[in-house]
Amino acid sequence: MRVLLIEDNKALQKSTRIALEEEGFAVDTASDGREGDFKVRTATYDAIILDLMLPEIDGFTLLKQWRKDGVMAPVLILTARGTTPDKVEGLNLGADDYMSKPFQLEELFARVRALIRRGHSIKDPIIRILDLEIDTGARLVRRAGQAIHMTPREYALLEFLAFHRGKVVTRTMIWSHLYDEHDENTSNVVDVYIRYLRAKVDKGFELPLIMTRWGEGYMLRTEDTPMADPDSSKNPKTPKKTP
């Protein structure tokens, strides 16, 4: 999932970004309120980690304006201003969670994941789809009880498909949520990772779970998907020849 970290302390920003990336998040950063505001309004984020004491525009002002303008991305306030009045003001302005500095990285990871699940209306940290089980807390995947090892990016893609299970997601949607502003890959890498996922999730099983919708994108099969529905990437419709 793609996260924006708005933090003016360069050392803390760098260490937190690296830690989030090691956990499989795609991370954009901003060092002041104006830069953060620009990025929020020009990209799509699954969560925003916001410091309050920022140059240019402070965190409270940013949060108030975002909510007024309809920016609905979950916001976690991360700040040294940990007094009760500050927490109350932040939550009343539309923050979804609040952490005081210093903080434990494991708690930050857990809170960000919880915000992202909530943003996708998922309450249970374990997502079950047919015989597939995705533990979003431990980031573990099993199918029919068999553990499946995945790289962070493979897991992120599968989790994104699971968050939108039963619905088609386009390559553009996948790209905007799983790749940060510094990634030099091209959008074709999405197709590559779909192939990687199929090799791990579907190979050896009679029923494929990762489906392609020709000319549209990809989707994860659910209980409601017709069992006989073929992978349309293998059977694209072709016009009939006229005699």
What's the CATH code, domain 2-119?
Answer: 3.40.50.2300
167: pLDDT strictly greater than 70: yes
Q: How far is CA 180 from CA 1, 135, 149, 151, 195, in A?
A: 9, 24, 23, 17, 21
When pLDDT is averaged across residues 76-90 and rounded to a whole number, the result is 84
Interhelix angle 10-22/105-119, rounded to 10 degrees, is 60
Rg (CA), the chain: 20
**In 10 A of CB 211, how many CB atoms?**
20
Which residues have a Cβ under 8 Å from the Cβ of 36 and sit 6 or more positions away?
A: 4, 6, 30, 50, 54, 57, 62
- 229 or 178: which leads in pLDDT: 178
Model confidence at 166, pLDDT cuts 50, 70, 90, reads confident
Spell out a b/e string for 72-82, using b for 16 or more CB atoms within 10 Å of the CB, else e.
ebbbbbbbebe
- CATH of span 126-220: 1.10.10.10
Given a cut of 90, whether residue 127 has pLDDT beyond it is yes
Q: For residue 185, is pLDDT > 70?
A: no
Beta-bridge mates of residue 74: none
Tokens of 177: 């949520």
Residues of the chain with CATH 3.40.50.2300: 2-119
Work out the average pLDDT over 59-75: 95
Which segments of the chain belong to CATH 1.10.10.10?
Answer: 126-220
Prior bond of 208 cis (ω within 30°): no
pLDDT of residue 39: 96
Taking alpha carbons only, the member of 30, 5, 208 closest to residue 99 is 5
Contacts of 176 (CB under 8 A, 6+ apart): 2, 43, 44
Q: With pLDDT > 90 as the criterion, what percentage of the chain qualifies?
A: 62
Global confidence as pTM:
0.82
Residue 139's closest CA among 126, 124, 123, 120?
126
Question: Residue 41 in 3-state DSSP?
Answer: helix
